[in-house]
Amino acid sequence: MKKYAFIILFLLLVSCSEDLIEPLVNTDKMPQMNIVISESEYLSLLSNKLFDYEANGRLGYKNNVYDIEIEAQGAGSRYYDKWSYHVKLKNGSELEGLTEFNLSSQIYDKAMMNTLLASNLYRKIGFSVFESNYVFVNINGKSYGLYLLIEKVDEKFFSKRFMSVYELIKLGFDSKFTFSDEYNTQFYFDKEIPEDNNYNSLNEFIQALDTARTDRIEESLKPYLNVRNYLDYHAMTYIINNVDAFANNFFLYRSKPNNSFEIIPWDFDKAFTKNQTLGIYEGNEIIKKLSQNKVLNDYYLNRMQLFLNKYFTEEELFPIINSTAEKIEEAYNLDPYLGGKGNNFSAEISELKNYIKSRKSYITQIIRENLN
């Protein structure tokens, strides 16, 4: 038996053609991705999944074969059986126009809908958002199930959108926008473009936020932050209850040296969180300071009300949920960590829809109580 298993693995490593694995899903609805890693490389990857260890392998997708480097990705999913991966293609190859991408397990999203809905909503209000697509992933012949293939926010992200980029800083875990406790930005933020240790612009912004007078705060922050862009981001993030995206999981972006920071959203699997919520002025020091200014507070609440009435509606969101459910239901049920563990897809979808309705009603009341 071991002999035959070795022969199969050898053939996969040599050919890695998609037709070597019997399609588990309807590939007209759901692309299948087959990843093959040698036994020694795979054991090393498993042993080092809490670290940035890159294994070499091959990937079959839509009748194309790619040489790849693959490593564990995501701060939280690494601790679960179904974890996420970062994939780099070798030899200048591209897959769906990408040279590298994340395979996200969306471990906190039992309906596998949060990223799709959040992406749609952020785009509707004018934010640049990464592209994502569903894929069914097999590794060394074993099914790992439904994943999202997610575009990275990097220089290619900007060039594809004809956007210039001068500086890009990603928030790490529990990032703070204050120096009140001798806070070191290099420990909590990641400078991604350019990859250096120059955090001067971020430090200047935080210093300005700490010292700005409430009545002049928008003017004081204008060189450092597009205040209304940030308030739009915070309003939509609050609406969808993306609890992990106020002190983590978004980018500060500057297109040119003299431009202020704007926001690029990132990582949505904790959106629509049902067992936790923050206050309307909670999440970070930015909203706490901005909301003390009546003009900005009114802007924030009115924008939230506009987004709630225009975009966060059953008419806008439920057709997206329904059409996507039809596409992914089979793959969901075949996923050993979703349907295979007893998750009821229809029940998850119903729960999500009910949450959207109740969240809308809840926030409508919150806005009413805070608008003067």
Asked whether residue 133 is assigned to any structural domain, the reply reads yes
Show the low-confidence residues of the chain (pLDDT under 50).
1-20
Same domain, 47 and 94: yes
Same domain, 15 and 57: yes
Domain count along the chain: 2
Asked whether residue 15 is assigned to any structural domain, the reply reads yes
- What are the pLDDT digits (tens) for 34-50? 999 999 998 888 888 77
Same domain, 101 and 250: no
Asked whether residue 253 is assigned to any structural domain, the reply reads yes
Asked whether residue 121 is assigned to any structural domain, the reply reads no
Same domain, 78 and 224: no
Asked whether residue 261 is assigned to any structural domain, the reply reads yes
Same domain, 237 and 304: yes
Residue 267 CB partners (closer than 8 Å, separation 6+): 244, 245, 248, 249
What is the enclosing helix (H) or strand (E) of 155? helix 155-160
Same domain, 69 and 179: no
Alpha carbon distances (Å) from 214 to 220, 286, 290, 296, 304: 9, 12, 8, 10, 21
Please tell me the predicted confidence (pLDDT) of residue 48: 82
Asked whether residue 143 is assigned to any structural domain, the reply reads yes
Please tell me the predicted confidence (pLDDT) of residue 80: 78
Amino acid at 68: I
Pairing mode, strands 64-73 and 32-37: unpaired
Same domain, 146 and 174: no
Please tell me the predicted confidence (pLDDT) of residue 74: 78
Residue 183 CB partners (closer than 8 Å, separation 6+): 176, 206
Q: Closest by alpha carbon to 324, among 303, 295, 296, 345?
A: 345
Domain span including residue 270 = 163-311+359-370
Sequential DSSP letters for 259-321: SPBEEEE---TTTT-SS----TT-SSHHHHHHTTSHHHHHHHHHHHHHHHHHTSSHHHHHHHH
Asked whether residue 146 is assigned to any structural domain, the reply reads yes
- What are the pLDDT digits (tens) for 63-104? 999 999 999 887 777 777 899 999 999 999 999 999 999 999
Same domain, 88 and 231: no
Same domain, 291 and 196: yes
Work out the end-to-end distance of the chain between its first and last CA atoms, rounded to an integer number of angstroms. 74
Strand, helix or coil at 158?
Answer: helix
Q: At 142, list the tokens.
A: 């074993």
Same domain, 84 and 189: no
Please tell me the predicted confidence (pLDDT) of residue 10: 39
**Are 261 and 253 within 8 A, CB to CB?**
yes
Please tell me the predicted confidence (pLDDT) of residue 21: 60
Same domain, 272 and 247: yes
**Are 148 and 339 within 8 A, CB to CB?**
no
Same domain, 181 and 101: no
Strand, helix or coil at 126?
Answer: coil
User: Length of the chain, please?
Assistant: 372
Asked whether residue 338 is assigned to any structural domain, the reply reads no
